[in-house]
């Protein structure tokens, strides 16, 4: 497939069409379903939950973000099991989560069959939105797992030790998606992948993972359900 390949559709349905062991890694930022402490707050549009009202730039809403924690767990196990099937032995999964869904995400990953390998922290810096009288929630987390063993350190194809904390502020003007991540962060995560890997992002958003894969010499495949973000990603990759 082309390194700019982006498929419009439901990720779990499309993943079922791939053969076993089709990918080296699944690296993705799924909906967190954590914006709000009550059912009514969770049901709000994502643009209302995650964007400061009155800002000049607006973003398209995306689905799948209104589940309660039990439903989010079951849904996470479902897509992670399919991701496990289509990842080769020794391959990787890297899934983003915030502090509220971190326990749920690590549990779901293990229930789906992956070996949980730890966390990478994205430090968004002190420039993130404050909450008076509280510590800043300036970190998001990448839950890391593998399909089976990585083998001994001496025999691994990649001999690097990337930092476990990545510090990068993403300016609102640089974001193409409501919950967009820096390209440099995705490139950082891909340092542990062997050369010419095939990377899947089942929740591709504005195409950041695909772009990072291309920059790192890998093949990137993305699946995205929201038409507005499909167009943004395709335009971004074409540039």
**Residue 184 pLDDT class (50, 70, 90 cuts):** very high
pLDDT > 90 fraction of the chain, expressed in percent and rounded: 67
> What tokens were used for 18?
């791939």
All residues at 6 or more sequence positions from 183 whose CB lies less than 8 Å from its CB, including other chains: 208, 211, 212, 215
* Residue 11 scores a pLDDT above 70: yes
Sheet bearing 165-167, strands edge to edge: 5-8, 219-224, 198-201, 23-28, 87-97, 139-146, 115-123, 165-167
pLDDT at 146: 98
The structural domains of the chain, with segments of one domain joined by +, span 5-238
pTM of the model: 0.85
Q: Could you read off the pLDDT of 41-90 as tens digits, one per residue?
A: 555 555 554 555 555 566 665 555 667 888 999 999 999 999 999 999 99
Q: Where are the alpha helices (DSSP H) in 16-128?
A: 39-42, 46-50, 69-85, 102-111
pLDDT at 3: 39
| Averaged pLDDT, 2-24 | 89
Classify domain 5-238 at the CATH class level.
Answer: alpha beta
pLDDT > 70 fraction of the chain, expressed in percent and rounded: 84
Is the CB of residue 84 less than 8 Å from the CB of residue 147? yes
| Averaged pLDDT, 126-138 | 88
Q: What DSSP designation does 202 have?
A: T
In 3D space, the residue among 239, 205, 215, 218 whose CA is nearest the CA of residue 6 turns out to be 205
Is the CB of residue 75 less than 8 Å from the CB of residue 130? no
**Unique residue bearing structure tokens 């992670």:** 80
* Residue 177 scores a pLDDT above 70: no
pLDDT at 68: 83
Q: Checking DSSP bridges between strand 139-146 and strand 87-97, what pairing results, if any?
A: antiparallel
Is the CB of residue 117 less than 8 Å from the CB of residue 138? no
In 3D space, the residue among 80, 66, 60 whose CA is nearest the CA of residue 33 turns out to be 66
């Amino acid at each position: 497939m082309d390194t700019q390949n982006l498929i419009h559709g439901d990720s779990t349905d499309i993943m079922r069409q791939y053969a076993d062991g089709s990918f080296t890694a699944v690296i993705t930022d799924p909906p967190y379903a954590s914006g709000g402490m009550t059912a009514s707050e969770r049901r709000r549009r994502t643009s209302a939950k995650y964007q400061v009202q009155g800002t000049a730039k607006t973003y398209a809403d995306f689905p799948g973000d209104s589940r309660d924690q039990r439903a989010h767990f079951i849904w996470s196990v479902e897509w992670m099991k399919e991701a496990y099937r289509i990842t080769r032995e020794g391959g990787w999964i890297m899934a983003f989560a915030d502090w509220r869904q971190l326990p749920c995400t690590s549990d779901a990953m293990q229930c789906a069959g992956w070996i949980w390998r730890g966390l990478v922290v994205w430090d968004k810096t002190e420039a993130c939105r404050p909450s008076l009288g509280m510590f800043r929630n300036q970190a998001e987390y990448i839950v890391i797992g593998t399909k089976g063993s990585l083998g001994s350190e001496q025999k691994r194809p990649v001999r690097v030790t990337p930092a476990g904390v990545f510090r990068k502020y993403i300016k609102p003007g640089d974001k193409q998606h409501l919950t967009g991540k820096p390209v440099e962060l995705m490139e950082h995560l891909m340092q542990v992948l062997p050369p010419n890997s095939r990377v899947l992002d089942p929740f591709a958003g504005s195409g950041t993972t695909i772009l990072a894969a291309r920059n790192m010499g890998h093949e990137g495949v993305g699946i995205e359900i929201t038409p507005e973000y499909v167009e943004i990603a395709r335009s971004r990759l074409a540039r």
